[in-house]
Structure 1
């Protein structure tokens, strides 16, 4: 499957791809994404509680697709170990660790405690800005978001336009039953913290055990997204800060 990107605007291309792929199997969506963008396509993964499914699917399309991993400096040690386990298990050849810029940390979070006073600001310098820089070399990217996560994700399309790029959400249609069945079929290893009651895993200061989807993230705050998937006005850099 191939598409002529020059024949449409980016929003138009996203709408057409979404119409064609909205009911497709995740593997079909990923193959279409790779056919469209090739080496200009990246996967963004948190290596969190549900990440093994998408990483395994991507490895079947091409294990050389770049995987962008946001190493915020605030992750659980178990997540860093899991990243190594899955990269080796799936023979992923291009996992890139994205870290916050030294100047951002020095000027905005010198004591590594910004999360106490501004979770949005902390997410911004540790997630949003590093990813913005890394995605500048790509035209399309893949996320692990799913509608059953709730919140703004309830109406999640399979393909969408965001900041001039095409974003693929190949697992949008899948629920927990489909994820669990895929994990069992392929005997995928679980994140070590899942057995300790963590259903969704981000940075340690803002993640609590929970068996209810993403409810363990930013508990007690009116926040459901780190900022990566928050819409922005064209040409406006993010100033806000999930399983990705």
Structure 2
């Protein structure tokens, strides 16, 4: 089925084809499947990112890896990104940032996150990613069903607004699967995980999580916000930049 076929039709065919496949088989197949097209991986280099980054590096370390530097990340995240890029021999890392002109207009003093987190995420994450994904037919994410109720029915392949395919090879992995993979491959942990950060975003909007809390409870604490806008807007899975 050529790429001229509708995205939804290709997504349905791909999900049927890979329904009972492992994460490795889904990823390996997707990177070679003519129905998918040109692929990039998007990684936050967060708490669990190393598992999928390692999988990609083993299958094809020339796969474009897009890292969104919001310029509000923890210093530990930047250092971790540099460490993993070198250790995993990632050959095509692309660091994505918001345009200086947009920041001067919308967030000249760097305080937008204090009174409008949605606008800040759109400026520093959603729009830069949308621009970076132009020219790609699909992108790989590390999202998993267990992470939140909004991801409970996640499939391996998703239709992103009839424009692009979203690939979630780890959709069916649970917490133990991720930990086992990291242990078996002796992969380094994000340094903040040991300090109580099981989900890591921008420094101003991420706090430690107490025992018994949801792993994402530290993201935008004391607000109704659960997603940065890249994957979810108004409770619906939508294309990047729709916010």
TM-score by length of 1: 0.92
Q: How does 1:1-244 map to 2 (within 5 A)?
A: 4-6=1-3, 8-36=5-33, 40-163=38-161, 164-210=163-209, 212-230=214-232, 238=241, 240=243
- Gaps of at least 5 residues in structure 1 are none
- Gaps of at least 5 residues in structure 2 are none
Q: How many residues align?
A: 236
Shift of 1:238: 3.4
Assess, with a 3 A threshold, how the Cα gap between structure 1 residues 79 and 110 changes in structure 2: closer, same or farther. same
TM-score by length of 2: 0.92
Residue pair 2:231, 2:240 contacting (<8 A) in 1 also? no
Partner-residue secondary structure (3-state), 2:71: coil
Structure-1 separation of matches of 2:68 and 2:204: 16
Partner-residue secondary structure (3-state), 2:55: helix
Structure-1 separation of matches of 2:20 and 2:76: 35
Residue pair 1:22, 1:159 contacting (<8 A) in 2 also? no
Shift of 1:226: 0.4
Shift of 1:104: 1.1
Shift of 1:239: 5.5
Structure-2 separation of matches of 1:229 and 1:126: 14
CA RMSD of aligned residues (A): 2.0
